[in-house]
Each structure stands twice: as structure tokens, then as C-alpha cells.
Structure 1
Amino acid sequence: MVGNPDFLTRSGQGQEPELQELESPEGELHLRFYVASGSEFALPATGIREVIAHPPDRITPMPNVSPLLLGTLNLRGQVVWVADLGQFLGDSAPLNTDRAEIPVIAVEDQNLTLGLAVDRIADMDWLDPDEIRVSTAAPDSMAPFLRGEWLSEQTGKALRLLDQIAILRSARWAT
């Protein structure tokens, strides 16, 4: 079918092939998502192992661990800790776990993998790293885990870029 010259033409008969120009994306690919409080964040796609949605009963609660951790899940034979990302970043609103599925973003660095439970996944977007500005309005509890933010011209809201390595290596997990 692709080898057929009519495949590239509009009506197929006696016309020159019409080639479409593909737009090359500008910037770097990021995953946008929301935490329980409604705040929007992004992570670079290169630091994400995968995005999954698990029923809450597939996340096994563990005793005597940080209250930020919801429990563990089995990710293709690997036990992965799952954390409420919003509460980790200082939000007072806990993640609603009384629903059919919880979106989990599995991030990794070297041999360390962590599942970040979020309220909802928004989209994948190409974002220009040259437009990142230093976040000045971020709470102190969130600041060590931010690389910066983009300011939306339409809404005036900030899309904050997280540093998944700083999140993975944080001392907050021990408390």
C-alpha cells in the first residue's frame, strides 16, 4: 500500500504526489500531571520508566514506614515503593485512593525505582527548556525538588518541572 504511488495523492488519479511536511517538535518531551490539590507538574520523559494505573488493592500497604508511602506494588517482578507525590511535595490534600485506579509514574535512576502516585495524568508535551524560569512562589517544602517552571500565557498558572533524581534520593523517605 505504501509502495503504491496513489497512496500519496489526494484523489489518486494522475496527480503528482502531495508530500506533507512534518513539524519537528521544539524543546524536550515532558509528562504533565496533577496532584490531589490540583497543582500541575511535569517530569522529563527521559527519567520516566513507565506510567501505569493500578487498582488501590494492588498496592500493598507496609507497616512502620513513612506516611508519604502508600505501599509497594509488583512491577514486572520488581517490588516498587509507591508514594503520594502531592504529600511528598508538601500538599495537605492526600491522594484519593477510593477509586478504580491510581495513576503511578515509575521514575528511576541507576538501579533505584520509585512509583509516584498522582491524581491524574494530563498529557505529553514538548516544552522549551530555554523558557524555564526560577520558581519564586514555590513553598519551601517543594523547592529542593524543582528545576524551575514555565508560566502559561493563557492561564497565568505555573507548570512546575520536578527533578526526579532529587525526589528519589531525598532523605524524606526515611522519616
Structure 2
Amino acid sequence: MIGNPDFLTGRGQDQAPELQELESPEGELHLRFLISSGAEFALPATGIREVIEAPPDRITPIPNVSPLLLGTLNIRGRVIWVADLGQFLGDSTSLNTDRTEISVIAVEDQDAMLGLAVDRIIGMDWLDIDEIHMPSNLPDGMAPFLRGEWAIDGADHSLKLLDQVAILRSARWAA
């Protein structure tokens, strides 16, 4: 195979007749996901420690804590709190935990880490931060944790950008 001249010149049968130009991504990398109500959100990839698909029985419920918290999860020896992100943002629909796996986004800032349980992970996307705007009709419970939103597919659909540091440092966790 190595002695084949086509191997060295890249003219094998797998080679496309013309080279495709690689597109350079525009904007910053973000993780897109849905909460229980179907609303779509994004978090900057730089603030995410990892994404975990955890069976519900790995999340240990803790009595006498905020109803926003589902419990704790052990991630390679580090115990973190897991919260229902939709409930935290004021959504009336609680996360369905009666399923085989729960999507948990572990966000981190300095020494603090928190698991945000969401309904479904959509994927990673390059988004232009210069194209966000602050919506005027935000619920009061969500406003402190939002950096802005992108209009997707016209005005019918929006993608809201969350501030993970504001979520981590919120006084709501003490309630």
C-alpha cells in the first residue's frame, strides 16, 4: 500500500476530484438544549465542564433543600448538586425524571460547580455573539440569568443565551 504511488500523492479512489475548502466557524461555540416547556437555551462552551447522561438513580435526593434541587451526583469522586434548570428559570413544567437518563450540564466557575438538568441536549453550534439582543418581554424570574437572545427562523423562534456564572452565584440556591 505504501509503495503505491497514489498513496503518496493522494490520488487514490477515496480522494474527491476537487478539494473542499474548510469553512472557518463564525462566532463562539455554544451548547444548545431544551427545558421541559420546550423553550430553547444556549450556554457558552467555555463555561461548561462536561455534559453527563445520568440514570435518575445516580442522582441522590437530599431532604430539606430547595425544591429546585433534584439531589446530588457523584462525578469521578466530586459530589455536585443537580438542579432542574427549567424550574430555576421560573418554568411551571417540572423535569420528567421518569426516564432512563437525564441530561445534566455541569457548569463551573472558579471553585463552584453545579449540574443543570435539562430535558434534551440539541448539540453544539457556532453562534455570533454580536447578533444577540435583549428581549423586552422577559419573565422577572429569568431576566437576571439571561445575556440576550438570537432570533431563529424569523421572529417565531428564539434561542436564549444564559449566563452560567449568574446561575451559579444566585441567592435562589439558599432558599
Matched with 2:89 is: 89
Task: Output the CA distance in 2 between the equivalents of 1:132 and 1:5.
Answer: 47
Cα distance, 1:97 vs. partner? 0.3
Q: Give the TM-score, by structure 1 length.
A: 0.92
Q: 1:5 to 1:151 in 2, by over 3 A?
A: same
- 1:66 aligns to 2:69 (yes or no): no
Q: Give the TM-score, by structure 2 length.
A: 0.92
Q: Deviations over 1:31-72 (max 9, x none)?
A: 000000110000000000000110100000001110000000
Task: Output the CA distance in 2 between the equivalents of 1:132 and 1:163.
Answer: 13
Task: Output the CA distance in 2 between the equivalents of 1:22 and 1:130.
Answer: 23
Runs of 5+ consecutive residues of structure 2 not aligned to the other structure: none
Q: Percent identity?
A: 72
Specify the code of the residue in structure 2 equivalent to 1:110: Q
Specify the code of the residue in structure 2 equivalent to 1:170: S
Task: Output the CA distance in 2 between the equivalents of 1:68 and 1:153.
Answer: 32
Cα distance, 1:123 vs. partner? 1.2
Q: 1:67 to 1:142 in 2, by over 3 A?
A: same
Matched with 1:101 is: 101
Cα distance, 1:154 vs. partner? 4.6
Matched with 1:4 is: 7
Cα distance, 1:158 vs. partner? 1.1
How many pairs are equivalent? 172
Cα distance, 1:96 vs. partner? 0.2
Q: CA RMSD in A?
A: 2.2
Task: Output the CA distance in 2 between the equivalents of 1:43 and 1:26.
Answer: 16
| Contact 1:28 1:129 survives alignment (8 Å) | yes
Task: Output the CA distance in 2 between the equivalents of 1:154 and 1:10.
Answer: 45
| Contact 1:96 1:119 survives alignment (8 Å) | yes
